[in-house]
Amino acid sequence: MAAWFKRKEESSGSKVIIAEGLWIKCDSCKEIIYRAEVERGGRVCPKCHYPFRISARERLGQLVDAGSFEERETGLATTDPLNFKDTKKYRERVRAANQKTSTDEAVICGIGSIGGQPAVLAVFEFGFLGGSMGSVVGEKLTRGVEEATKLALPLIIVSGSGGGARMQEGILSLMQMAKISAALARYDQAGGLYVSILTDPTMGGVAASFALQGDITFAEPGAMIGFAGRRTIKNTIRLELPPEFQTSEFLLKHGFIDRIVPRKDLRTEVARIIDYCEH
C-alpha cells in the first residue's frame, strides 16, 4: 500500500537555526524584532517606539544615577486581613509574587539621585499582582511621602498598576487612596515638588488618587491610563469610545497630563524639572 506521506530528505546545504529567545513580538505594532535591539533601546520597540513593560529595578536603573539608590521601607508584609481565598489563598499568591519578582511588595521605595540631585523615589512593580495597591503598598508610599516632607526632597512616583486597589484586602486597600492623598497634601503645604510618571498601565484607584495629583505629570507614549476599563465603560454608558481613549495621547490632548516623554529622555527631563523648580 502506498504511503500517505514521506519524510522530506535533508538538504546538503547548511541549516538555518533561529535560537529561541533571540526574537520578540511587539505588543503594539506586532512586528517580530531582534531582542538585543530592543534591550539596547531601553526596552523600546525600534519600529514603532512602543515602550515594553519593565520591572521596577530596571526602571530604577534607567532613572537614577548609577549606584545612588538606597532602598527604604523593606520587610513590610500583608497580614491577609480577610483570609481571602479564590482559586488560591491570597497568602499563596503573595508568596508566588515574592518569588517571581524578588520584591516584598508591588512598589519599591527609597532615596537616590537623578542628575546629581537627591530625591525620594517610589516605583511600581507590575509583575507583583499586576502592580495592585494593598495596605503595604499604601503604607510604603505614605512613608515615602513623609520622608520627602521631612528631608525637603523632591518626590518621584512611577505608577504602573493594572487594577488599582487590591480586592483581596477590601476596604483596607481602598482607604490607601485617601491615606496617600492626605500625605501628599501635607507635602504640598510644606512646599514639596511631586513629579508623577505614568506608565502602562495606570488604572483604577492608583489613577483615581495619587497618580494624577502630581505638580508635574509625565507619561510614557501609548500608556493606558484611566479608572474603569474600556469595556466596562462601553457596556455601562452604551457609547462607542474613541480608538485612542485612555491613552497617554488622549489624556495629553484633554489636559490631564503635562507631557509625553519617551523612555530614553525620562531621566534628563526629570533632572531638568528638579533643577528648575529647586533653583
Q: Average pLDDT, stretch 54-73? A: 96
User: What is the value of pTM for the model shown?
Assistant: 0.89
Do 236 and 142 fall within a single domain? yes
Q: Average pLDDT, stretch 173-186? A: 97
pLDDT digit string, tens, across residues 120-150: 999 999 999 999 999 999 999 999 999 999 9
CATH number, domain with residue 144 = 3.90.226.10
Do 48 and 159 fall within a single domain? no
Do 210 and 187 fall within a single domain? yes
Do 257 and 226 fall within a single domain? yes
Distance CA 271, CA 279 (A): 12
Question: What is the domain extent for residue 39?
Answer: 18-52
Q: How many domains is the chain built from?
A: 2
Q: Average pLDDT, stretch 20-49? A: 88
Phi (first) and psi of residue 93, to 5 degrees: -65, -40
Say if 11 falls within a structural domain: no
DSSP string covering 200-217: EEE-HHHHTTGGG--SEE
Q: Average pLDDT, stretch 54-78? A: 95
Do 42 and 95 fall within a single domain? no
Do 162 and 251 fall within a single domain? yes
Say if 13 falls within a structural domain: no
Residue 241, CA distances (Å) to 41, 139, 267 in order: 33, 36, 34
Q: Facing residues of 224 across strands? A: 247
Do 242 and 273 fall within a single domain? yes
Output the average pLDDT for the chain. 91
Q: How many residues does the chain have?
A: 279
Do 59 and 80 fall within a single domain? yes
pLDDT the model gives residue 13: 47
Name the more confident of 239 and 14.
239
Say if 6 falls within a structural domain: no
Do 25 and 63 fall within a single domain? no
Say if 5 falls within a structural domain: no
pLDDT the model gives residue 4: 47
Say if 197 falls within a structural domain: yes
Q: Cβ neighbours of residue 207 under 8 Å, at least 6 residues apart?
A: 159, 161, 164, 198, 225, 226, 227
Do 39 and 130 fall within a single domain? no
Domain end residue (candidates: 52, 70, 99): 52
Do 104 and 41 fall within a single domain? no
Q: Give yes or no for a contact between 176 and 112, defined as CB atoms under 8 angstroms apart.
A: no
Do 74 and 209 fall within a single domain? yes
Say if 7 falls within a structural domain: no
Name the more confident of 225 and 14.
225
